[in-house]
């Protein structure tokens, strides 16, 4: 009997402690709000792999020591960042400084989670317009990106020389070159046309360069761009597997010598350097008509400051973001991580110092932000784009009808 009672009491106690555990972990971290006593900042970003992880850490550390604070940094895998942010938002544990991929900034800003940076002495003077568009929402600046990237056309120098092909400047040349470079076991070109936002991103250079626009996806210019993808796949110059490939897969094909050209970004350069027998160079994305200028999408991440009740801490976080966007740090990160500074004034100097980035530096000046026109409605358009690409490349719809089918009923 007694032992039964003890057991019951234990069971009850277990329940209570379970409840306590469930309710706990909510307090804490309510640091003081007094003046200049901010000693540390928490940071969340998605550079969770080396070398990026440690290269970013260097920049963060140098800014921390300049501001006389310590930092607690957390990194998560890229595809889980938004889920992590949502989770932190609902438990009110957002970090002091938050990194966001640039097309997400407006969406998160629209929820009212971020502090406008203009009010805290920050501005985007001298930053390329595309990036300002991406990190502003309803006329206010919510983030600053020290470095950016974009995509262009990589080509294998030896393969092109062997086939007697010049790097293509127009779509006609691109198709002809891809066809000529294709032989058993090798495709002329690799790109990513998978059913994710990544697939839409890779399509944008063709779509925007040709004058297509996300506000009217059923225009003939957009259909023409899609026809380019269809032609490359149907002629056998690109693998039918492009509908499942990621940009990483495209890079793997290129590095293994199974593709002579690829559409990709400079973040692949460190990986390409591991296969020194593949000699490559980069040109801007080819044009449909000679009078066009190449327009590519802007990549890269912005640093933002979530709203904080502790005003002093919020201001310190803003100062920290300002420091990350100093000329000095922009150049340091750009050089070390094969990215590009976002200030126009730094771009030319940078291209001279890092010649492998010349084509990208050129492309970035005219590059556009994905959220520049549609803001937080961009994901809907991006979805229509990748679904249309899938319909057209699998032969379920013609390039002319694909966008109508993907967006309509």
Partner 1 sequence: MVTLTRTTVAGREKVRGRHHRGESLTKVLFVLPAVVAMVALFGYPVVKNLLMSLQDYGLKTFFTGAAPWVGLKNYSTVVTDKLFSDAMLNTALFTVGSIAFQFAIGLGLALFFRNRFPLSGLLRSLLLLPWLLPLIVSSATWRSILEQDSGILNRTLLKLHLIGDPVPWLNSPSVALIAVIGVNIWIGIPFNVTLLYSGLAEIPDELYEAGQLDGATGWRAFWYITWPNLRAVASVLLMLGVVYTIKVLDIILGLTGGGPANATQTLATQSYEKSFVDFRFGQGAALSNILIAISFVFAIFYLRGTRRAVDE
Contact status: 110 vs partner 1 (CB under 8 A):
yes
- Contact (CB, 8 A) for 195 and 358: no
The window from 146-154, 275-283, 315-323, 387-395 that contacts partner 1 (CB under 8 A) reads 387-395
Contact status: 83 vs partner 1 (CB under 8 A):
yes
The least distance separating partner 1 from the CB of residue 7, rounded to whole angstroms, comes to 8
The least distance separating partner 1 from the CB of residue 86, rounded to whole angstroms, comes to 4
Name which position in 20, 22, 276, 291 contacts partner 1 (CB under 8 A): 22
Name which position in 3, 30, 34, 90 contacts partner 1 (CB under 8 A): 90
The rounded radius of gyration (Å) of the Cα atoms in the chain is 24
Instruction: DSSP letter for 258, please.
Output: S
Burial letters 319-332, b for 16+ CB under 10 A, else e: bbbbbbbeeebbbb
Look at residues 147, 38, 29 and name the one whose alpha carbon lies nearest to residue 92. Answer: 29
3-state secondary structure of 18: helix
Contact status: 183 vs partner 1 (CB under 8 A):
no
Contact status: 404 vs partner 1 (CB under 8 A):
no
| Contact pattern from residue 214 through residue 253 relative to partner 1, giving x for each residue in contact according to CB under 8 A and a dash for the rest | -------------------------xxx-xx---------
- Whole-number Å distance between alpha carbons of 151 and 297: 7
Name which position in 55, 195, 278, 336 contacts partner 1 (CB under 8 A): 195
Name which position in 55, 76, 89, 312 contacts partner 1 (CB under 8 A): 89
Q: In this complex, which beta carbon is closest to partner 1, that of residue 185 or of residue 290?
A: 185
The least distance separating partner 1 from the CB of residue 338, rounded to whole angstroms, comes to 27
- Whole-number Å distance between alpha carbons of 292 and 170: 10
Instruction: State the angle between helix axes of 220-234 and 197-209 in degrees (0 to 180), rounded to the nearest 10.
Output: 110
The residues facing 267 across adjacent strands are: none
Contact status: 305 vs partner 1 (CB under 8 A):
no
Take residue 90 and report the two structure tokens written for it.
């609902």
The least distance separating partner 1 from the CB of residue 236, rounded to whole angstroms, comes to 11
Residue 382 is inside which H or E element, if any?
helix 378-393
The least distance separating partner 1 from the CB of residue 111, rounded to whole angstroms, comes to 4
3-state secondary structure of 115: coil
Name which position in 127, 334, 354, 391 contacts partner 1 (CB under 8 A): 391
- Looking up tokens 């090798």 gives 186
- Whole-number Å distance between alpha carbons of 388 and 372: 21
Name which position in 158, 383, 398, 400 contacts partner 1 (CB under 8 A): 383
Cβ partners under 8 Å of residue 338, min gap 6: 149, 266, 267, 269, 270, 354, 356, 357
Backbone angles phi, psi at 95, to 5 degrees: -70, 170
Q: In this complex, which beta carbon is closest to partner 1, that of residue 64 or of residue 259?
A: 259
The residues facing 259 across adjacent strands are: 187
The window from 4-12, 67-75, 116-124, 273-281 that contacts partner 1 (CB under 8 A) reads 4-12
Enumerate binding residues for partner 1 (CB under 8 A).
4-5, 7-9, 11-12, 14-15, 18-19, 22, 82-83, 86-87, 89-90, 107-108, 110-113, 194-196, 239-241, 243-244, 258, 379, 383, 387, 390-391, 393-394, 396, 409
């Amino acid at each position: 009997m007694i032992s039964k009672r003890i057991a019951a009491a234990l069971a009850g106690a277990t329940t209570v402690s379970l409840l306590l555990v469930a309710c706990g972990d909510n307090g804490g971290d309510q640091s003081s709000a007094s003046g200049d006593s901010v000693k540390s900042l928490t940071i969340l970003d998605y550079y969770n792999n080396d070398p990026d992880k440690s290269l970013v850490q260097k920049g963060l550390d140098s800014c921390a020591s300049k501001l006389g604070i310590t930092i607690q940094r957390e990194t998560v895998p890229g595809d889980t960042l938004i889920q992590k942010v949502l989770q932190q938002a609902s438990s009110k544990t957002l970090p002091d400084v938050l990194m966001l991929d640039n097309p997400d900034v407006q969406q998160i800003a629209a929820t009212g989670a971020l502090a406008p940076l203009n009010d805290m002495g920050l501005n985007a003077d001298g930053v390329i317009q595309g990036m300002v568009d991406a990190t502003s929402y309803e006329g206010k600046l919510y983030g600053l990106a020290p470095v950016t990237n974009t995509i262009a056309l990589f080509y294998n120098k030896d393969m092109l020389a062997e086939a007697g092909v010049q790097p293509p400047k127009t779509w006609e040349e691109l198709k002809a070159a891809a066809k000529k470079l294709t032989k058993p076991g090798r495709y002329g070109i690799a790109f990513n046309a998978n059913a994710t936002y990544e697939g839409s991103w890779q399509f944008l250079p063709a779509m925007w360069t040709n004058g297509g626009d996300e506000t009217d996806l059923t225009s003939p210019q957009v259909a023409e761009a899609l026809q380019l993808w269809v032609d490359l796949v149907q002629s056998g110059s690109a693998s039918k597997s492009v509908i499942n490939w990621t940009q990483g897969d495209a890079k793997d094909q290129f590095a293994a010598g199974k593709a002579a050209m690829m559409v990709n970004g400079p973040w692949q350069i460190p990986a390409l350097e591991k296969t020194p027998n593949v000699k490559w160079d980069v040109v801007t994305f080819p044009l449909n008509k000679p009078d066009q200028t190449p327009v590519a999408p802007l990549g890269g991440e912005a640093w933002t400051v979530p709203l904080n009740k502790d005003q002093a801490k919020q201001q310190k976080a803003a100062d920290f973001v300002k420091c990350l966007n100093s000329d000095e740090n922009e150049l340091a990160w750009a050089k070390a991580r094969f990215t590009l500074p976002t200030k126009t004034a730094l771009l030319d100097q940078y291209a001279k110092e890092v010649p492998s980035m010349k084509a990208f530096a050129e492309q970035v000046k005219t590059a556009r932000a994905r959220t520049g026109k549609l803001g937080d409605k961009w994901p809907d358009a991006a979805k229509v784009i990748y679904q249309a690409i899938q319909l057209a490349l699998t032969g379920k719809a013609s390039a002319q009808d694909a966008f109508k089918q993907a967006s309509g009923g």
